Amino acid sequence: STAVGLNDHGVAIGYDSATSAGGRADERAVLWEDGTIMPLPLPPNAIGSRGQDINNRGQAVLTVYHSNSGCGVGAVPQFNGYLWQQGRLNPLPLLPFGQDDCDLGAHGADINDHGQIVGTTMHRTSWDERVFRATLWRGGRVFDLNQLLVDDNGAPVTSLRLRRALAINDKGQILVEE
């Protein structure tokens, strides 16, 4: 078992691993609270999950893994971020991607006490190039942080390429990687 996040109420989130008969490690997102471990649900057709973070309201963000999904519009993500709250698991919406792109996925890394989630959206182009975009989920919507960058005059900033969003605090400040 590995814990990766802890809220102010002492609830920890992470994942539990077990090796199957075929030698493959099966991972499942779990919460630890008051000395007990609780596995979080998996959506249909998922093969595993990892808990990423939990806020003080008890909302948790996790990454769910699916088997290989194919390519193109309508393909199921190989991995996707999910929000767990009040016993329900809801997928995070995905950023748009090109029609010929493959291996779509999203990873939620952190959640603040307002329920805002940051992480990364990834896809592979038809030229086999992997594209990473720093992503914000807020109010049920998804945003590419690169498109939200403006300078002091309100003009778009195009000189930076934000690849991953790593953390968000309760003021809405976001730690990113170029």
pLDDT exceeds 70 at position 177? yes
- Which pLDDT does position 134 carry in this prediction? 96
The 10 Å Cβ neighbour count of residue 74 is 7
pLDDT band for position 67 (cuts 50, 70, 90):
confident
The 10 Å Cβ neighbour count of residue 69 is 17
Which pLDDT tens digit goes with each residue over 98-149?
665 566 789 999 999 999 999 999 877 666 678 899 999 999 999 999 999 9
Encoded amino acid at 163, one letter: R
pLDDT exceeds 70 at position 63? yes
User: DSSP for 136-147?
Assistant: EEETTEEEEGGG
List phi, psi (to 5°) of 108: -85, 125
**Given the structure tokens 């329900």, which residue do they identify?**
88
CB 119 within 8 A of CB 77: no
Encoded amino acid at 74, one letter: G
Average pLDDT, the chain: 87
Q: Report d(CA 27, CA 21) in Å as an integer.
A: 14
pTM: 0.88
Q: Report d(CA 90, CA 139) in Å as an integer.
A: 13
User: Tokens in use for 110?
Assistant: 């952190």
Encoded amino acid at 82, one letter: Y
- Which pLDDT does position 29 carry in this prediction? 95
- Could you tell me what percent of the chain has a pLDDT over 70? 85
Encoded amino acid at 83, one letter: L
Which pLDDT tens digit goes with each residue over 3-30?
999 999 999 999 998 755 555 558 999 9
Which pLDDT tens digit goes with each residue over 29-51?
999 999 999 999 999 888 899 99
User: Tokens in use for 44?
Assistant: 């249909």
